[in-house]
Chains A and B, each alone.
Chain A
Amino acid sequence: MSDDRPAPPTVPIDRPPEEAAKRLGHFRPRLLLHEDHDLCPGCGEPVAIRILLDAIEELGCAESAIGVIGIGCYTAFTSTLDVDLVQALHGRAPSVATGAKRMRPDCLLFTLQGDGDMVNEGLQEVLHTAARGEAVTCVLLNNGVFGETGGHMTATTTLGQRTKNSLEGRDAAYHGHPIRIGDLIAPLGGTAYAARGSVHDAASVVKTKAMLRRAFEAQLEGRGFSFVEILTMCPTGWFVPTAEGPDYLENVLRPVHFTGELKNAERCVTTEQLLEENAAAEREAAARGARQPAR
């Protein structure tokens, strides 16, 4: 290296850059008609929808997919997702998907619902669809609140979580307990695959996309019902600053709705078991002197 070469630019790491980084590539998935959306900054739903579209594309199902969309902030995506869609009502998506799948068994049928949609209003529909072993894939975007109405308590809101109608935090004695929907779905006879992922950090996004692929594969192989719950950020509904969304998810939602595979070809476990396995792995890692606990 000769001495007259200019020194490489130094990147300050003690403060944010003065200019935003240039975009290096074009990231729009092919199955998205345009990039505009009306969701809040820091919302986890666009990320979840992106990996859903990528999974469909990668499995070669772009030209055989039919989606049934529930009610929530992501409803706005019905005009921008470039797959055939049916807009359903709160809770009804699994039934609508059932009717469509029975008439078009060659299509990949997926639903997209929020926690208010699926776990509050549509609890029995998703359970019956799973029990029937209907060959559809139900995707739950769980942020623990009704995001669209402005941050109200849902059936998945965790104990202590503050929402617009549980101002002092969800109190079990007064508001009841959160439902871990995956634990109800996984043991049903018709369920072939059930998993809970998240989109609050890059590693989780990668894992969750793999879960979506496995769920779709279960459907394509005719093994029965499949289910993927995705924990998503809702800084607006949680009343936290945008940048704190991922931490809030990690610290408030994830300890209750813990991520992992609840049912696959090998085993069926509960969220409690996933939590125990994780705690055991953390203890083991600590004993080995590892700095990072296992996730």
Chain B
Amino acid sequence: MTAELLEGSLAIARAALLADCRFFAGYPMTPFTELLEHMAEALPTEGGVCINAESELEAVGMAWGALATGARAATGSTGQGLALMQESLSEITRAELPLVVFHMARGQFDYTQATRGGGHGDYRHLVLAPSDVQEAVELTQLAFHLADHWRNPVQIYGDFFLAHTYESVELAPLDLPALPEKEWAVDGRLGGSGRSRNLNPLGMEKGAKGIEPERFWVRLQEKHDRMAETEMRHEAFACEDAELVIVAFGSLARFARSVVQELRAEGVRVGLFRPISLWPFPAPALSEAASGARRVAVLEQNGGQMIDDVRLAVLGRAPVEAIGGISSDDAGFGVGDLYAPAEIRRRVEAALAARGGVQ
């Protein structure tokens, strides 16, 4: 397998095809647009379908229908567009359809939207946040697998930087376990047999009179609990003896990592904890990584959203403070100050100084 130089969006589109994605629908919105363009170009030539939907509402609805037939299907947008899709996203979750959502956010201020959702009802999505293009290729394939495995939507949380960066990547298929047949998918063939199917987010079952909301809810809730226990992913870098643990995710974590490397080379005991799954948040691993730290610094590109999850993980054992904030440039897409290692270093040093200066 040889490496290729690919733009993030194209690499993700190619990874989706590698994962046998057959259907894609989307509506252009920066920085999701390029992913839609690549899918529109590549899917039809691979025998799949890509529809340029007339709105985000329609895009997610179309993906819903394709998923119902058992096809691997995906949609996506940026935070604003995903806000429009929320109603369907929660219904699709309750109908247990394996949607993959590419959330190409403008920055990181959609953390709460991605991890909590804005839809109605009790629902959860697995949310994976790659920090570089190679990881995006792997997590995209994993997303399709996990969606089918759990019969639950999985989000890839990317951003402007990931979508537009050219990197050298290897597009190797992941070796993933086999999945059961999709017995539940509709194909019309069982009509009139008494065994026809009903893909229903309301808990209504074929042949049953009325609904048993409690039983339906308990079943879904137990599934989400199992997902929460088994799907936590993270990377802990130089955290073992760290006095200050920086918590960062996605593209921003790459810049934090280089600052940690720089400071470590100077003998400063800092580490980086990077949640790869934003939901479920890898709280036990963070608790462990921060167990010897005197301070935890949360670097995120927003007004303080992930910091809630960090605080819950650390549970008061060390002070947790925000060192991020809004990072904007003239283009308005968030590739600003926080993507400069020098600026991150300045903020990390300030955090270190706050507890008595850099060693």
Q: Which residues of A sit under 8 angstroms from B192, Cβ to Cβ? A: 30-31, 57, 62-63, 82-83
Q: Which of B49, B53, B55, B87 contacts A103 (CB 8 A)?
A: B49
Instruction: Please tell me if the beta carbons of B65 and A100 are within 8 angstroms of each other in the complex.
Output: yes
User: With contacts A78-B204, A79-B207, A124-B55 known, is A100 near B68, CB below 8 A?
Assistant: yes
Contacts of A76 in B (CB 8 A): 204
Once bound together, how far apart are the Cα atoms of A63 and B49, in whole Å?
A: 24
The chain B residue sitting closest to A57, CB to CB, is B192
List the one stretch of A5-13, A86-94, A165-173, A257-265 in contact with chain B: A86-94
Q: Is the CB of A85 within 8 A of B199?
A: yes
The reply to whether A92 and B206 contact each other, CB–CB distance below 8 Å, is no
Which of A62, A83, A88 is in CB contact (< 8 Å) with B64? A88
Which of A30, A36, A61, A107 has the largest count of B CB atoms less than 10 A from its CB?
A107
Alpha-carbon separation in the docked complex, A213 to B312 (Å): 60
Return chain A residues, CB-CB under 8 Å to B71.
103
* Cβ contact within 8 Å between B188 and A99: no
Interface string of B195-212 (1 = CB under 8 A from A): 011111110111111000
- CB neighbours (8 Å) of B91 from chain A are 88-89
Once bound together, how far apart are the Cα atoms of A57 and B192, in whole Å? Answer: 9
Q: How far is the CA of A84 from the CA of B196 in the complex (A)?
A: 5
- Give the number of residues in B that approach A within 8 Å (Cβ atoms): 50
The answer on a CB contact under 8 Å between A99 and B206 is no
Closest B residue to A93 by beta carbon equals B61
Q: Are B65 and A78 in contact (CB under 8 A)?
A: no
Partner of B68, one of A61, A79, A81, A96: A96
Which residue of A is nearest B97, CB measured? A86
Q: Is B356 an interface residue (CB 8 A)?
A: no
A264–B205 Cα distance when bound, in Å, is 37
Q: A82-B193, A86-B199 are in contact. Are A102 and B187 (CB under 8 A)?
A: no
* A48-62 contact mask (Cβ, 8 Å, vs B): 1 or 0: 000000001100011
A98/B65 in contact, CB under 8 A: yes
Interface residues of A in 69-125 (CB under 8 A from B): 75-76, 78-89, 91-92, 94-104, 107-108, 124-125
Which of A68, A78, A92, A103 has the most CB atoms of chain B within a 10 A radius of its CB? Answer: A103
Residues of B with C-beta under 8 A to A61: 188, 191
Question: A104 near B207 (CB under 8 angstroms)?
Answer: no
Give the one of A30, A80, A99 with max B CB within 10 A: A99
A22 and B86 alpha carbons, distance in the complex (Å): 52
Q: A33-B207, A63-B192, A84-B187 are in contact. Are A99 and B73 (CB under 8 A)?
A: yes
B242 in the interface (beta carbon within 8 A): no
Q: Is the CB of A89 within 8 A of B207?
A: no
Does A64 touch B at the CB level, under 8 Å?
yes
**B62 on the interface (CB 8 Å rule)?**
yes
Q: Report the minimal beta-carbon distance from A93 to chain B, rounded to whole angstroms.
A: 8
Interface centre among B25, B58, B59 (most CB of A within 10 A): B58
Using Cβ atoms and an 8 Å threshold, which residues of chain B touch A268?
none
Q: Considering only CB atoms, which chain A residue lies closest to B91 in the complex?
A: A89
Among A36, A82, A99, point to the contact of B191 (Cβ < 8 A).
Answer: A82
Residue ranges of B at the interface with A (Cβ–Cβ < 8 Å): 22-23, 25, 49, 51, 53-55, 57-71, 73, 87-88, 91, 95, 186-194, 196-202, 204-209
Q: Which 8 residue pairs are nearest across A and B when measured between Cβ atoms? A: A99-B65, A95-B61, A100-B65, A99-B66, A84-B186, A99-B62, A96-B65, A83-B191
